[in-house]
Amino acid sequence: MNPATMTTTTDAALFPADWEVPSFELPHWLGRDRRHCVIIPVINEGERIQRLLGRMQALNIAAGADILIVDGGSTDGSLAPEVLQRFQVRGLIVKTGPGKLSAQLRCAYAFALHQGYEGLVTIDGNDKDDPEAIPRFISALEQGVDFVQGSRFVPGGIAEHTPLVRWLAIRVLHAPLLSAASGGSWTDTTQGFRAYSRRFLLDPRVQPFRNLFAGYELLAYLSFRGPQLGFHCTELPTARRYPADGKIPTKISALRGNFNVLGCLFRACAGLYNPPVDNAPRG
């Protein structure tokens, strides 16, 4: 069977018994070619995902990392086979089980680790982040960093047209709380442009493959857990640009969605997502 056209329904039987991974299909998979991968979560991103893939192609990202897309159930036709081929997408994972962003990421992270990738970079599929930073993320992983967080607020970072409410939420609440609670030093904790080492995600004290990570919990939890356990965490400058017309490309609703994000923040900072294992820091 041609691996580029196979369709496989995958369930938890593929992974270790203690991993909770939503079921997913694999309509496009060319096999692992690089040591690292770039994971792009999407759902009905339309032209935005194709613009992002075009920018990544212009930067020759595929020469240094496999490109994997994890789809939460798109119906807009933006991920047609010819699009995947044109933009050198190595794999398409389609979540069929329940859950939102964290469930998508669990599918992709579990699959990537199962395939043997040494490091994972995640970038949102809505074309707000500049992919030119991806090689620097991979370089940091290769130098022993376990968690790279992209930040528009560190020297060299760029924040364009960031909505004032979001700026305040990140700079006054989200990043300071996570920093204080975890012992880390974060400035930009809500965005998904980040990278993780294999050893971080597989550490038994982290355990990201749990069903309680279904919505927006996983990003806040990993930002808390990494510094708390003494992993090598750092921020690298990135550019995040919102449209000048004020239309925000996001799947987070203004009221309920943002309320859920704050709830995830408080629970993460309280250690409520930590697994029941030894919580002692490294070293």
- pLDDT per position in the chain (283 positions), as tens? 344 444 555 655 789 999 999 999 999 999 999 999 999 999 999 999 999 999 999 999 999 999 999 999 999 999 999 999 999 999 999 999 999 999 999 999 999 999 999 999 999 999 999 999 999 999 999 999 999 999 999 999 999 999 988 899 999 999 999 999 999 999 999 999 999 999 999 999 999 999 999 999 999 999 999 999 999 999 999 999 998 875 655 555 455 656 788 999 999 999 999 998 754 444 4
Task: Say what angle helices 217-228 and 101-114 make with each other, to 10 degrees.
Answer: 60
DSSP letter, residue 186: -
- pLDDT recorded at residue 282: 45
- pLDDT recorded at residue 244: 82
- pLDDT recorded at residue 254: 52
- pLDDT recorded at residue 111: 97
Residue from 170, 171, 261 nearest 220 by CA: 261
* Mean per-residue pLDDT over the chain, rounded: 91
- pLDDT recorded at residue 281: 47
> pTM, whole model, 2 decimals?
0.91
Query: CATH classification of 14-269 is 3.90.550.10, yes or no?
Result: yes
Cα separation, 153 vs 10, in Å, equals 39
- pLDDT recorded at residue 256: 62
- pLDDT recorded at residue 104: 97
Cα separation, 151 vs 159, in Å, equals 9
- pLDDT recorded at residue 14: 84
- pLDDT recorded at residue 52: 98
- pLDDT recorded at residue 5: 44
Residue type for 163, please?
Answer: P
Under a CB-based contact definition with an 8 Å cutoff, are residues 40 and 66 in contact? no
Cα separation, 281 vs 269, in Å, equals 16
- pLDDT recorded at residue 11: 58
How far are the Cα atoms of 22, 29, 45, 138, 269 from residue 214, in angstroms, in the given order?
A: 9, 25, 20, 27, 18
- pLDDT recorded at residue 258: 65
